[in-house]
Amino acid sequence: MLRESVIDFKGNWDDHLPLIEFAYNNSYHSSIVMAPFEALYGRRCRSPVRWFEVAQSRQKSYADNIRKDLEFEVGDWVYFKISPMKGVMRFGKKGKLSPRYVGPYPILKCIGKVAYEVDLTNELAPVHPMFHVSMLKKCIGDLVSILPLENLGVNENLSYEEVPVEILDRQVRKLKNKEVASVKVL
């Protein structure tokens, strides 16, 4: 093996000595009926040749433990995912503050196990009403308890005007060279 490596690799054969040693220790020897590594350590060497397959199967088993199959029924309320596109303004916000999911909307029809038809509002008429199960997220909670924003007095920018009802408490704190007044307002 050394002679062949000197011929093949010419001047830098010594850089390849660890590979030659690895190949020798993991090759089958008929005199001991196993590889020298296996004779010394009692197990086969884990070769980096198959590490990719081992890592891939390990990742698959981890993913299978976490993955859950989603199924919805007709009448369930779901949010649908908005795919983020750089520079595109959707639903009034741009960038990091844009909503990830929009809804909730009821499911009208199940098409197979992975596709659902959703009842969208008129403002979303250009959007196709069919969605893959990976684009949907179940709405958890009571939809009757959701309050509409119109009755709360909340503006379009989600702010509201504060009106003081009464003054509950007054206090003056003395610091070293000045006095600071504070008022508690309802």
For the segment 100-129, the average pLDDT, to the nearest whole number, is: 83
Distance of alpha carbon 47 from alpha carbon 43, whole angstroms? 12
> What predicted TM-score, i.e. pTM, was given to this entire model?
0.44
Q: Closest Cα partner for 86 from 78, 77, 95? A: 95
Q: How confident is the model at residue 171 (pLDDT cuts 50, 70, 90)?
A: very high
Q: Closest Cα partner for 136 from 177, 60, 77, 183? A: 77
Is the bond leading into 104 cis (omega within 30 degrees of zero)?
Answer: yes
CA 92-96-99 angle, to 5 degrees, is: 50
- pLDDT by residue (tens digit) across 35-80? 888 888 888 877 776 666 777 888 888 888 877 777 888 888 888 8
Instruction: Report which DSSP code applies to 34.
Output: B
Q: What is the pLDDT of residue 91?
A: 56
Q: What is the mean pLDDT of the chain?
A: 78
Residue 47 tokens read as 């070769």
Beta strands in 66-114 (DSSP E): 77-81, 101-111
Provide, rounded to the nearest whole percent, the portion of the chain with pLDDT above 90: 5
